[in-house]
Structures are given as C-alpha cells and as structure tokens.
Amino acid sequence: MIDRKDFVERFGGVFEHSPWIAERAFDSGRITGPLRSGEMHEALCNEFRAASHDERLGVLRAHPDLAGKLAVSGNLTRESKSEQAGAGLDRLTESEHARFTELNERYMADFGFPFIIAVKGLDKDDILRAFESRVANDPTTEFETACTQVERIAGLRIADLLPGDDT
C-alpha cells in the first residue's frame, strides 16, 4: 500500500492544482491496493462531488485558459501543456488565437471560470465548435458541464499514471 505522502505526490495533480482531493480520498479510506484506474477515478471523483460549490468552483478556476496567456508564456502544468499540444492548441494561427482569446474573455466574464474541455481525441476545430456552443449555456448548466469535463480530464490523467490498467 502506498503511503499518504507518496499518494498525494503521485495523484495530487489529477485535479488541476487541487491536491486536497487526493488528500481527502486517501484520508477517507477509499484508497486501497492495488491501485486501479477505475477505482481511483471513482474515489477521487466522489471527493470532488462531495466538495462544496465554492471548492468545486476553485478547481474550475485552477484550470488554465485554452491557448491562453499561460500557454503563450509557457507556464502551464506539464499535464495541461501536453494535453493542449496534443489538440494542436500550441500551433494556432494568429486569427485562431484571436478567436480563442475572444471566447476565453467572454466565457470568463459570463461564468467566472475558464472554459474546460477534455481535449484528448479532439482537434482545435472540435474544441472551437464546443467552445462556441457552450458559451451560450446558462450558468448552472455550464458549471455542471465544466465539472463533468474536469472529471473526464482526471480519468485520462489517472490512466496515464496507471499504465497497463484497463479497468
């Protein structure tokens, strides 16, 4: 069995800049060996879902803008940088970057957190279409959609941390 410190070091970044989720999952006794991606994802998501609205909002706000200032300055987490690059967001044309910037600003003004989408398997056009569609959502719908996307991102990150586990 993995100890708490090692567990939080390994899985604390699964939810962007929110190690408290891994800490709570470990402290609750939900983490038992052997570590399997399905069970790990469920345990961490249960803690995220049980968190207060403000705590979940904090997780959403910890995510970077897609193709935003952090990406341009090179200050994304390793996971976010890899995910955005995999979708081609590091290779936008000037006009595409301008459109993402415009949507990022509108979205943040409307919802108070950045647009979040699990980009794996998507390209920049898929992401742009989703962005343009979701910016029209009402705040409650978009909060829940963003939370679902955060959980999907966590699942993908867990799968990367537990290679060979197909559960």
Using an 8 Å Cβ cutoff, are 53 and 146 in contact?
Answer: no
Nearest partner of 88 among 126, 130, 134, 132, judged by Cα: 126
Single out the catalytic residue among 41, 53, 63, 97: 63
Concerning whether 63 is annotated as a catalytic residue, the answer is yes
C-alpha to C-alpha distance for 156 and 167, rounded to whole angstroms: 12
The residue behind tokens 């898929």 is 126
Q: Between the CA atoms of 10, 75, 80 and 110, what dihedral angle is there, to the nearest 10 degrees? A: 120
Query: Prior bond to 163 cis, omega within 30?
Result: no
The catalytic residue positions are: 63
